[in-house]
Chain A
């Protein structure tokens, strides 16, 4: 039977890519291990190797095709004696059911190396984010032009702009320079700023976090990239005991103007050790600021503010959001102040508070709730510490109802903190108990169905909002 070659996923979160080039043509003999094609994403270009032997019977997706979905059949390999006509009409079922074993892409990063590339199965509600509502932001002047950018590009631009502005700013981490970033956030920085300011480190998080803090104590402004915050657990002593506490312990003499940044929380199908959300961990610590943007514009403006901030800032990104595009104001120096929440959607019946990828659930739920006649107000917290409690309280005073949304665990979570603050300061305004939507109280499972169950869902948010509005 002819074997279909499917569009491979280069990473657990990849959904589509471009078929850059065919290196074999129809009729060529293909042996296991032959490179047959090159595919590219916004992160990387990869070679596709054949696993099966035979003849390249038919090319189904010509080179130069953009946005080919993962698992789409791209070619057919014929065994001895098989005819190309047998492969002319591939079953659409094949793309759904067959795992992409026909092609084994090179692994794009050590993260993926420890978690083999699999078809990206992402909660569809999460994968297609609603566009943030166009409520004018105070930090953007009227009439400003917007450009659509991915969060990845916005983060890169933020670092590049700050590095141009201040020679003391440098970026250090695993694969940030030559490799152009494990998630391509530092793309092009080495070329512009050189190896003195864009520094590849050994895989020693504890050590290079300490080196970064020491450099900050000497007055430099390091951006320390963790490939993911999961690995920053190795470095958390330096982050907390050295970066966060030294200003206080030195009576105000020694500051650490440093940004620790990288993807935080669950990506897709990378299991418990690579999927943890550390928002509440860092939000616990006096002496730190904690930021978790949702839109590309906020990612840019907040990262620029974080780099200029004289304090240590934990900048929590999200891998799934990296490729998402949203409008970014075209300004020479766009800054979003730390510590200010944003009302992403105005409403009067219930307040939904979220941040980072939690906003995906909240905004999608708000759309569904509107169909049920429930007018939800969605607050994007943006900065977790210091927390803009006043914006939450003002909203709750209007709606009388509150639901918090986060992917992290519930116990001692950020939602628990928000609920406590609202209870303490706006108890009389509440018309229903505060409800929290959060990740299930289990290590993140690998199996696709279990992973989906472990994460919050849009339906969870809808259910909670209906419960607190008694509708």
Chain B
């Protein structure tokens, strides 16, 4: 795991390091942690802490409901990766859009979607965001700028490029974040999309969440080029590797990338070096990695613990304050779980609705 944020520039101008990138790869890739990580204010750290903890508690509750048989099918938990969506969301403005793949609960909560509606969709109830017809992998909230939730690996990259195309067509100043994983990064349509996005200078930020494993396949067993920040190089799309476990580094990189896209310079790639603690899905025993590897990430790099330690160290919050925050979030998630358990299933008449408009 590389925790130092590194920046690479894929062949053309990117903020600050363009000149270095043009010289040698080694110099372009040197650590710039000090330059890129900006300290958060007390309010920012508290907000990030709360947002990340909400996602974690939600996912823990979802795992619990899955174990109880209340959630069916596939359920991919985001635990460990919380800093990515929270840091990126802090870099957005109203009207920007988010689209992602199937590990999507964290993205939805980060955009401000109601945990009750998300949890009720997981349990297949009528109060779910898709009226119970979509499930874990297929939820949307146009109001919050969240465009799914897509179950086909890589499809969201073309779709997200299309959202950015619409922003460009309307010249509305909005930016699209298209999230995908290290597995999806090998799909062909990703590169078809990169090509068009750069060709037409579309306002899209591609965020590659490299959590080290595409289901059970380690990155180095599936990818000839494991530095995903360089995957746009042949299209002249600039890219950076970011410490995806540090919410401050994510936000700082996100702001650079979003500003770049919003200014009309075209797409930008952020590779988030992150880690999921749980299996690929609930049914994954995760035999492809050691318990020690997981434990080391949890104890040394946990995104939430990093903020918690800062808050305590800087005396921005006391243990009791943070306990109160946690208790409030647990109450919210318990209420969401209760709703998702007691809300009725969709009416049988819903079978035939929403096929066509």
Contact = CB atoms under 8 A, between A and B. Distances in A.
A204 interface: yes
B24 to A, nearest CB: 32
B165 A210 contact: no
B265 interface: no
Contacts of B150: 242
A196 B168 CA distance: 10
A455 B165 CA distance: 42
B133 interface: yes
A251 B166 contact: no
A219 B138 contact: no
A252 B131 CA distance: 9
A201 B131 contact: no
A247 B354 contact: yes
Interface residues of A, number: 39
Interface in A28-76: none
B166 A215 contact: yes
Nearest to A248: B354
A217 B130 contact: no
Nearest to B129: A251
A443 interface: no
A311 interface: yes
Contact of A210 (B130, B148, B189, B356): B189
Given A210-B159, A211-B158, A251 B192 contact: no
A389 to B, nearest CB: 16
A256 to B, nearest CB: 9
A213 B150 CA distance: 13
A254 interface: yes
Contacts of B158: 206-207, 209-211, 213-214, 238
Contacts of A214: 99, 147, 158-166
B141 interface: yes
Contacts of A212: 162
A286 interface: yes
Nearest to B147: A217
B152 interface: yes
Contact of B155 (A170, A237, A247): A237
Contacts of A209: 158
Contact of B128 (A208, A242, A251): A251
Contacts of B147: 214, 217-218, 254
A79 interface: no
Nearest to B134: A249
A116 B356 CA distance: 42
B34 interface: no
A175 B163 CA distance: 23
Nearest to A217: B147
Interface stretch (B193-201, B224-232, B245-253, B288-296): B193-201
Interface of B: 97, 99, 128-134, 138-142, 147-152, 155, 157-167, 169, 188-189, 191-193, 195-196, 199, 353-357
